[in-house]
């Protein structure tokens, strides 16, 4: 039987941190457990960070697959050590932790991005390496709708415990966004969509994509990524001092970003670089 917080609190959860809202826990478990035997699906009203929680469990030896949803995170984390702010009710925050042993790891965040974008809306695009963006009516980048944070535990063997964290804006954020960092939300694209529906679509696609990635790596996603690549063909700015501005030319077979400037073609691993459309 899976752990479900509506019935049984996970050992880390304070009883008051259990969710009272309705989430499709049973339905998700029935859909996903055949692909991830031993899976638990849990929903918490509040946690520090769903990624932090699943990594902690893995460090303590609990490496069973787990889909952990939080209605509120008080220490949500984004890429490059940034905080991830999300308003309860206006956003969906969840992580999937599982053991994974692909032959090559390159392009994993792009594969996850492809799965989420395809599952959620035809107009979603992936901004290398891990953001979901919308387009405006002219096909220009409009705003960031979601982010992906992938972390792993255990480097010694071919199998690592992977935690894929996903944060999606469902509704408009309560505070006006900084115009330098435009945001978007799913109800702009699909006004009737609920967080529970988005979770079902996103989590189902995510599990399928991770199983496919384990078998075939980024090769299975490369063409689908190209169809949703936000940056391809656009001028971009990067935080790499020697490459302030360039033209994006897609990604290579490991998911590294290809940028061209007057000095030639450059290859960027996701590492510590930020890239923005000009
Ligand atoms: C980014 O855009 O920098 C990635 C943001 C990832 C946020 C999600 S929300 C669920 C999971 N838990 C976290 O603390 N972070 C990820």
d(C-alpha 204, C-alpha 36), whole Å: 11
CA 147 to ligand 1: nearest atom = 2
93 lines ligand 1 (CB under 6 A): yes
**Domain for residue 190, yes or no?**
yes
Pocket of ligand 1, candidates 56, 72, 78, 164: which has the most ligand atoms within 8 Å of its Cβ, to mutate? 78
How far, in Å, is the centroid of ligand 1 from the Cα of 147?
Answer: 6
Residues 270 and 176 in one domain: no
- If you take atom 9 of ligand 1, which residue's CA is the nearest one? 167
Instruction: Give me the CATH number covering residue 270.
Output: 2.30.30
Identify the pLDDT of residue 174.
82
How far, in Å, is the centroid of ligand 1 from the Cα of 130?
Answer: 10
Identify the pLDDT of residue 206.
98
For 182, the domain range is 25-225
Give CA angle at 254 (249, 256), nearest 5°. Answer: 40
- pLDDT cut 70: percent of the chain above it: 91
Identify the pLDDT of residue 180.
85
Pocket of ligand 1, candidates 42, 43, 51, 92: which has the most ligand atoms within 8 Å of its Cβ, to mutate? 51
Helix, strand, coil percent content, the chain, rounded in steps of 5 = 25, 30, 45
146 lines ligand 1 (CB under 6 A): no
Identify the pLDDT of residue 20.
53
Residues 202 and 100 in one domain: yes
96 lines ligand 1 (CB under 6 A): no
Residues 33 and 81 in one domain: yes
**Domain for residue 70, yes or no?**
yes
For the chain, which ranges sit under pLDDT 70?
Answer: 1-21, 155-156, 271
Residues 239 and 147 in one domain: no
pTM for the model stands at 0.92
Task: Order the strands of the 40-44 sheet from edge to edge.
Answer: 40-44, 66-70, 91-100, 160-169, 141-153, 131-135, 125-127
Pocket of ligand 1, candidates 42, 56, 66, 165: which has the most ligand atoms within 8 Å of its Cβ, to mutate? 165
Identify the pLDDT of residue 159.
85
Question: How many angstroms separate the most distant Cα atoms in the chain?
Answer: 61
Residue 155 structure tokens: 């480097």
134 lines ligand 1 (CB under 6 A): no
d(C-alpha 247, C-alpha 184), whole Å: 24
2 lines ligand 1 (CB under 6 A): no
CB contact at 8 A, 154 and 147 = no
| Domain's final residue, options 225, 247, 269 | 225
Q: Tell me, what DSSP letter sits at residue 80?
A: G
Residues 143 and 239 in one domain: no
Residues 106 and 244 in one domain: no
Residues 245 and 122 in one domain: no
71 lines ligand 1 (CB under 6 A): no
Instruction: Give me the CATH number covering residue 165.
Output: 3.30.930.10
**Domain for residue 11, yes or no?**
no
Identify the pLDDT of residue 91.
95
How many independent structural domains does the chain possess? Answer: 2
How far, in Å, is the centroid of ligand 1 from the Cα of 21?
Answer: 21
pLDDT, one tens digit per residue, over 153-200 is: 986 678 899 999 999 999 998 887 788 889 999 999 999 999 999 999
200 lines ligand 1 (CB under 6 A): no
Q: How many CA atoms lie within 13 A of 62 on its CB side?
A: 14
Closest to 29 (Cα-Cα) out of 57, 61, 56, 65: 65
CA 48 to ligand 1: nearest atom = 14
d(C-alpha 42, C-alpha 3), whole Å: 7
CA 78 to ligand 1: nearest atom = 3
How far, in Å, is the centroid of ligand 1 from the Cα of 150?
Answer: 8
Identify the pLDDT of residue 270.
73
């Amino acid at each position: 039987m899976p752990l479900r917080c509506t019935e049984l609190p996970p050992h880390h959860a304070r009883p008051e941190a259990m969710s009272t809202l309705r989430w499709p826990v049973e339905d998700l478990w029935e859909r996903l457990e055949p692909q991830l035997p031993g899976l638990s699906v849990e929903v918490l009203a509040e946690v520090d960070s769903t990624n932090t929680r699943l990594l902690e469990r893995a460090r303590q030896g609990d490496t069973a697959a787990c889909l952990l949803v939080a209605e509120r995170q008080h220490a949500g984390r984004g890429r490059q050590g940034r905080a991830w702010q999300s308003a309860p009710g206006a956003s969906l925050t969840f992580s999937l932790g599982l053991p994974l042993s692909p032959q090559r790891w390159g392009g994993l965040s792009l594969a996850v991005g492809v799965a989420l974008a395809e599952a959620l809306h035809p107009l979603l695009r992936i901004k290398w390496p891990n953001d979901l963006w919308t387009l405006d009516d002219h096909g220009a980048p409009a705003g960031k709708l979601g982010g992906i944070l992938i972390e792993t535990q255990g480097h010694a063997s071919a199998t690592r415990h992977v935690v894929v964290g996903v944060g999606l804006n469902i509704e408009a954020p309560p505070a006006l966004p900084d115009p330098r960092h435009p945001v978007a939300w799913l109800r702009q694209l699909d006004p009737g969509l609920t967080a529970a529906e988005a979770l079902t679509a996103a989590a189902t696609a995510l599990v399928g994509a991770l199983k496919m990635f384990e078998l075939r790596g980024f090769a299975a996603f490369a063409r689908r990524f190209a169809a949703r690549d936000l940056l391809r063909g656009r001028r971009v700015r990067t935080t790499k001092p020697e490459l302030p501005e360039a033209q994006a030319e897609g990604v290579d077979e490991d998911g590294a970003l290809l940028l061209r400037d007057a000095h030639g073609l450059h290859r960027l691993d996701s590492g510590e670089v930020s890239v923005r459309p000009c």
